[in-house]
A and B are shown apart, each in its own frame.
Chain A
Amino acid sequence: MNEPIRRLSVLVLLLFLTLMVSASWLQFAKAGQLGDDPRNVRTLYRQFGSFRGPIIVDGQAVVSSVPVDDPFNYQRTYLDGPLYAPLTGYYSIGPGRSGLEATENALLDGSADALFWTRLGNLFAGQEQEGASVELTIDATVQRAAYDALGDNRGAVVALDPRTGAILAMVSKPSYDPTTLAVHSSSEANRIYSSLVADQTDPLINRAIGGDTYAPGSTFKLIVAAAALDSGYGPDTLVYAPQELALPGTTATIQNYGGERCGASDNIPLIDALRVSCNTAFADLAMRLGWGVIERTAAKFGWEQSLNIPLSVTPSRLPDNPNNPQIAQSGIGQFDVRATPLQMAMVASAIANGGVLMKPYLVSTVRDPDLKVIEHTSPEVFSSSLSPDTAGALNAMMQAVVSDGTGSNAQIAGITVAGKTGTSETGADTAPHTWFIAFAPANDPVVAVAVLIENGGDLGNEATGGRVSAPIAKAVIQAAIDRAAGG
């Protein structure tokens, strides 16, 4: 009977060999594919189970990973969630990640190349992988002031340091609390996410940079004015400012706010046209200058360019080959001209900084787990938008807007504020979006700000940039200047 037993033992060997091959197939050849399967919660455990670096504002961690006693080991928590959500985004086992949690993921989870030596050290020390901490340029006081000033309005506020491009505040409302999405139940996280997506007020969208862009309305007159000044105009050059401007080749006309006249005569100085935000004057001026000049000027401020701060910014748009009536409409920031609030803050910033536009940025410093600096953002010039003379002239004209024009609601005692209002029509039945962009102090600016309120906020159809947005800008500027003086 020995021969069959020997054969049996060969069969046994084959059976075991089959098992060994199948185990190798699973644990080696197919391991990656099975690991990437979205149904494999272990991959989530591993991803979410290591210490993720914090996001820091003004020395305080607004996003941090707190140790907890569950399979994920750490709970991502968001301090003042709604205040910072448009920046931080969320980190969820359900919908994934967004905002800085997404763009800075490699640094936060420690997988970035910059952290290679840290990883190696941890490996030898037998420690788990740790992420870097990401410090933001945001000033907590200014951010809070902007958030509070915005109240229950739908809209956005952006504040920049015009000298560096550092983003001091970026608020978008309505917002949401990322903590609710960080719950360790994918079904619960997905349920909350679905309700946020379904919300008509779009709380997940960072209105300051993303998703919708808005017609800039009269704030775009600064671009036209800049183009005019660069083309030889001066603040006192008289421009044609009729009560009603007929658009060539059509029966349509352009009127001023409330159908009023802009001045005593039909020809007024450019500075006055900007001060009272004269529509007919800038529509006519745009047609006289021609679209090419305006387009080039706008491009220097950032229109039609993508930008990462490192959050991805939706490019602001200009119309393509507009005809004369369309140029007239575009000259007052209507028709197909679109801008993000960040874009308009960049306009204010460039004028404030003597014509030099600094590249906006949100992350100042990245530190490894041992607090050693591994990345530090140095201010960069985005473009030299304007000649110093043009910038100086625009500065003076914007001061007039606040001291004696449509932007008087932004006046601050003892501080010269330069600003420009905007009220952009959104359609026959909907209230206008209101804008205010400004910087201060005018002679040595430390802050440039843009405020957008969707559909006029509380005032609805009665809303103008000066009435709705200027007071908010004022509060933000006040906070920024207090901080600059205190710090």
Chain B
Amino acid sequence: MATVLEVSVRVGRRSEAVLLAIACAIAIAARAFVDANAGPGIGPSLAVYAVAVIAIAAAAHVVIRLKAPDADPVLLPAVFALNGLGLAMIHRIDFAYLASGRETHFAQTQTLWALIGIVGALVLVAVLPDHRLLRRYTYTAGAVGLVGLLLPLAPVIGREVNGARIWVGLFGRSFQPGEFAKIAFVIFFAGYLVSHRDTLALAGPKVLGIRLPRPRDLGPILVVWAAALLVQVAERDLGASLLFFGLFVAMLYVATQRISWVIVGMGLFAVGAVVAGTLFSHVGARYDAWLHALDAEVYDSGRSYQLVQGLFGMASGGLFGTGLGDGSPALVPYAESDFIMASLGEELGLTGFMAILALYLVVVQRALRAAIGVRDGFGKLVAAGLGFAMALQLFVVVGGVTRVIPLTGLTTPFLAYGGSSMIANWLAIALLLRVSDAARAGAADSARAKQVAR
């Protein structure tokens, strides 16, 4: 084999470089529009930003080339573009707040978080040669996830912001450990399910035509999952509990291939939603604000104010938007975080909104493709879990903003202001890159082998 030299397998590193260049151009152009339309005009700070963006993209490209040469070439550029658009929008909203007399430096902070996120992701890609190593930490991950979720409930360090107790204050900074718990739980679910999938699927009594797993097989995962849900309900984190529920059902389905789990899961969810709406006044109020958002009574009470202002913003954007820097996104409370998609919809229009959704769709579909391509069950479950979690999270938050479902608090990955979300999502991308590298490495190897045989 030592004589083999002619290897021409398309792994796409060159495509990735081109796509990354386009993503950089989008990020820099968006910021230039913001500076020109809403800010003091294009100045030296834009040049500094441009250089930084290009440098970090180049660094990312080099690390991927060296450490994960067969990784999916579309994943990284798509996330880069999303991240760039988010930073530009937050930069724009800083100007909008400034115009109304409120000085904020969200963009500056967010840029730092993005940098930490990207560097963190690259380090993870570099130090983790194989995703299967994570399987060793299945139960550790489950414990870490639970502790992470519980931290905000702890005295002293727990913080409640806007009615949701999902924050932890440390060293003068606030964190949302739930964002990291999401990844930990994906690893735990994947590790546990891959070990027990056969017994889960095949052993156990049959009730009403559905084969139920034995309690000792399902027990641990059910305990962790129920604990997570309970904690989130206690923290009034509706969006996250919805996300975890959906994620669990989806991973269970992928592991067991039993559609009955999905049906049971959705039934349980419907019951839970109705019960929560009746029992908890804050949940009922959310339903009300969703169904009757535009009613004078609900609007005047302030319950649907944020939602309706977001709808107004998107409507005023129309097909092509007001243009970056020319809308009034700051009229919507939390335009830089919860409602950043409404801000983008207003200034980039339906066209831009669709483009952003398409970018997310690309990321999610690439994750699922990696799940299909990778050979080990653990890798499949991790990639499918991370991909589906992102899709579901986006559906919950954007569906809330566009009034498809009731509004719940979740961050928009890579776009919304917030460090925990930014770093956690970049780490998830690192894992996906790692899994996709393994998935495509197999294909690349067999292609190489064919050439050798010739």
> With the chains together, A24 CA to B352 CA distance in Å?
12
- State which of A29-37, A154-162, A429-437 sits at the interface with chain B: A29-37
Cβ distance A72 to chain B, nearest Cβ, rounded Å: 10
Within 8 A of A (CB), among B312-345: 312-319, 327-328, 331, 345
Contact A34 B345 (CB under 8 A): no
Q: Write out the residue numbers on chain A whose beta carbons fall within 8 Å of the beta carbon of B311.
A: 26, 34
Contact B316 A12 (CB under 8 A): no
- Which of A39, A42, A70 counts the most B-chain CB atoms under 10 A from its CB? A42
Contact A23 B99 (CB under 8 A): no
Contact A4 B316 (CB under 8 A): no
Q: Write out the residue numbers on chain B whose beta carbons fall within 8 Å of the beta carbon of A31.
A: 315-316, 318
Within 8 Å by CB of A35, from B99, B254, B315, lies: B315
Q: Write out the residue numbers on chain B whose beta carbons fall within 8 Å of the beta carbon of A27.
A: 314-315, 317-319, 345, 349-350, 353
Within 8 Å by CB of A4, from B254, B299, B345, lies: B254
- State which of A14-22, A94-102, A341-349 sits at the interface with chain B: A14-22
> With the chains together, A46 CA to B331 CA distance in Å?
14
> With the chains together, A25 CA to B404 CA distance in Å?
11
A125 at the binding interface (Cβ < 8 Å): no
Contact A46 B316 (CB under 8 A): yes
Within 8 Å by CB of A40, from B315, B391, B402, lies: B315
Contact A16 B402 (CB under 8 A): no
> With the chains together, A195 CA to B51 CA distance in Å?
59
> With the chains together, A303 CA to B448 CA distance in Å?
100
> With the chains together, A45 CA to B255 CA distance in Å?
54
- The residue on B at minimum CB distance from A69 is B99
B174 at the binding interface (Cβ < 8 Å): no
Q: Write out the residue numbers on chain B whose beta carbons fall within 8 Å of the beta carbon of A24.
A: 350
B380 at the binding interface (Cβ < 8 Å): yes
- The residue on B at minimum CB distance from A22 is B402
> With the chains together, A480 CA to B446 CA distance in Å?
101
A1 at the binding interface (Cβ < 8 Å): yes
Contact B255 A1 (CB under 8 A): yes
- The residue on A at minimum CB distance from B305 is A39
Q: Write out the residue numbers on chain A whose beta carbons fall within 8 Å of the beta carbon of B59.
A: none
Q: Write out the residue numbers on chain A whose beta carbons fall within 8 Å of the beta carbon of B404.
A: 18-19, 22
Contact B380 A8 (CB under 8 A): no
B221 at the binding interface (Cβ < 8 Å): no
Within 8 A of B (CB), among A20-76: 20, 22-28, 30-31, 33-35, 37, 39-43, 45-46, 69-71
Interface flags for A1-14 (1: CB within 8 Å of B; 0: not) read 11111101100110
> With the chains together, A15 CA to B361 CA distance in Å?
10
- The residue on B at minimum CB distance from A45 is B328
Contact A23 B402 (CB under 8 A): yes
Interface flags for B298-309 (1: CB within 8 Å of A; 0: not) read 010000000010
Contact A9 B365 (CB under 8 A): yes
Q: Write out the residue numbers on chain A whose beta carbons fall within 8 Å of the beta carbon of B395.
A: 15-16, 18-19
- Which of A4, A24, A27 counts the most B-chain CB atoms under 10 A from its CB? A27
Within 8 Å by CB of A22, from B360, B387, B399, lies: B399
Within 8 A of A (CB), among B371-407: 371-372, 377, 380-381, 384, 387-388, 391-392, 394-395, 398-399, 402-404
B175 at the binding interface (Cβ < 8 Å): no
Cβ distance A8 to chain B, nearest Cβ, rounded Å: 6
Query: Secondary structure of the B side of the interface?
Result: helix
Q: Write out the residue numbers on chain B whose beta carbons fall within 8 Å of the beta carbon of A2.
A: 372, 380
Known: A8-B253, A26-B314. A39 touches B308 (CB 8 A): yes
Within 8 Å by CB of A71, from B254, B328, B394, lies: B328
> With the chains together, A33 CA to B317 CA distance in Å?
13
Cβ distance A125 to chain B, nearest Cβ, rounded Å: 16
Q: Write out the residue numbers on chain A whose beta carbons fall within 8 Å of the beta carbon of B354.
A: 20, 23
Interface size on B, residues (CB 8 A): 50
Contact B255 A23 (CB under 8 A): no
Contact A35 B316 (CB under 8 A): yes
Known: A22-B403, A42-B316. A4 touches B253 (CB 8 A): yes
Q: Write out the residue numbers on chain B whose beta carbons fall within 8 Å of the beta carbon of A37.
A: 294, 312
Q: Write out the residue numbers on chain A whose beta carbons fall within 8 Å of the beta carbon of B398.
A: 19
- The residue on A at minimum CB distance from B377 is A1
B364 at the binding interface (Cβ < 8 Å): yes
- The residue on B at minimum CB distance from A25 is B402
Cβ distance A382 to chain B, nearest Cβ, rounded Å: 46
Within 8 Å by CB of A15, from B299, B371, B391, lies: B391
Cβ distance B140 to chain A, nearest Cβ, rounded Å: 24
Known: A12-B365, A18-B404. A23 touches B316 (CB 8 A): no
Contact A34 B312 (CB under 8 A): yes
Known: A3-B257, A71-B99. A30 touches B315 (CB 8 A): yes
> With the chains together, A15 CA to B391 CA distance in Å?
8
Within 8 Å by CB of A28, from B250, B255, B327, B350, lies: B350
> With the chains together, A41 CA to B404 CA distance in Å?
23
> With the chains together, A12 CA to B294 CA distance in Å?
29
Q: Write out the residue numbers on chain B whose beta carbons fall within 8 Å of the beta carbon of A26.
A: 311, 314-315, 345, 402-403
Cβ distance A410 to chain B, nearest Cβ, rounded Å: 57
Known: A1-B380, A19-B357, A28-B350. A8 touches B314 (CB 8 A): no
- The residue on B at minimum CB distance from A40 is B312
Known: A28-B350, A39-B299, A40-B315. A23 touches B357 (CB 8 A): yes
Contact B318 A15 (CB under 8 A): no
- Which of A1, A25, A28, A41 counts the most B-chain CB atoms under 10 A from its CB? A1
> With the chains together, A30 CA to B365 CA distance in Å?
30
B368 at the binding interface (Cβ < 8 Å): yes
Cβ distance B412 to chain A, nearest Cβ, rounded Å: 12
Contact B313 A42 (CB under 8 A): yes
> With the chains together, A1 CA to B374 CA distance in Å?
11
Contact B328 A5 (CB under 8 A): no
Known: A1-B257, A35-B316. A18 touches B350 (CB 8 A): no
Cβ distance A430 to chain B, nearest Cβ, rounded Å: 43
Contact A41 B331 (CB under 8 A): yes
Contact A43 B316 (CB under 8 A): yes
Cβ distance A74 to chain B, nearest Cβ, rounded Å: 15
Cβ distance A31 to chain B, nearest Cβ, rounded Å: 4
Known: A19-B402, A31-B318, A42-B327. 12 other contacts (CB 8 A): A4-B253, A12-B387, A16-B364, A18-B399, A19-B395, A22-B403, A23-B357, A27-B315, A27-B349, A27-B350, A28-B318, A39-B312
Q: List 16 A-B contacts (CB under 8 A).
A: A3-B257, A4-B257, A5-B384, A22-B403, A25-B402, A27-B317, A27-B345, A39-B299, A39-B312, A40-B316, A41-B312, A42-B312, A42-B328, A42-B331, A70-B99, A71-B100
Q: Which 10 A-B pairs have the closest CB atoms?
A: A34-B315, A27-B350, A22-B402, A40-B312, A31-B315, A42-B316, A12-B391, A15-B395, A9-B368, A4-B254
